[in-house]
Amino acid sequence: MKNNWTTYQMPNQQGTTVVITGASSGIGYEIARAFAAKGAQVVMAIRNLEKGEEVARQLKRENPGASLKLMKLDLSDLASVRKFAHEYRQTYDTLHLLINNAGVMTPPFQKTKDGFELQFGSNHLGHFALTGLLLPMMNNVPSSRIVTLSSTVIKGANINFDNLDGSKGYNRVKFYGQSKLANLLFAQELNVRLKASGSTTISLGSHPGRANTNLYSLGSDKTGPLMKIVKVLLAPQSAEMGALPTLYAATNPTLRGGEYIGPDGKGGNKGYPQVDTSVLKMVDPKITNQLWDVSESLTGISYLS
């Protein structure tokens, strides 16, 4: 018999502080909504504070007692990532949960403020840097977890170390797949390193299947008619359902670290959360270690030894 896990089975989150990147729309909004309803202190790490204030008011209307804090974070700018981490450390003593959710999907070729290709720079390197800067506040905090979102597009993707910046050619779909594969490999390698260091913090990956969200381009909530049609055709479930695998990964007490959670439907496109082992064959230790070394070099952020 299938166990159709929903937010009703989420443990109470009183006393838990959770940072959610990209919490003002789509999957991130639904994750914030669920944690707010369960009593967590929700830190919404977002680019657009004006939009965030509107979303926070909406969440407060649903849950008048919700504990919400808005903090500015631009993952395409390492200076912004460092500033966010500094301000977080000035405000809070610990961190229980970090949800690496925000992302940019298939934009025209662009570079970040630090000169990285936008998708790899924002989706992977921004979160790599953020996690490294916040990790000291999570080490050995009971039940602390890092959940990094990947995607179904990783099937067939690869990391092209000879063209990470797109200078030798750019295909927006392939570069999106590369960035999301990097998310998966990062989540897996981080868990390995945490375990080796003796830390009780665990790292997990998740993906929402094909969910109806605002993931078009960084900082934009608008899309053209073609993308709207594609969105309807390729998104067989709601953002609320798409958030369930991440919420499961973040709160289910049976998980031990290293799991990858996705929908249980055909192809992982929709459904209720389950542990997905089908992609673990994509985790090549040689590639994950190379990606780690490159990420440390590009961001200037050093992790656990």
Q: Which residues are catalytic?
A: 170
Rounded to whole angstroms, how far apart are CA atoms 204 and 157? 20
Closest to 156 (Cα-Cα) out of 181, 120, 131, 134: 181
Question: What number of other Cβ atoms are within 10 A of residue 302's Cβ?
Answer: 9
Rounded to whole angstroms, how far apart are CA atoms 223 and 217? 9
Distance of CA 53 to the CA centre of its chain: 21
- Token look-up 């993308």 returns 227
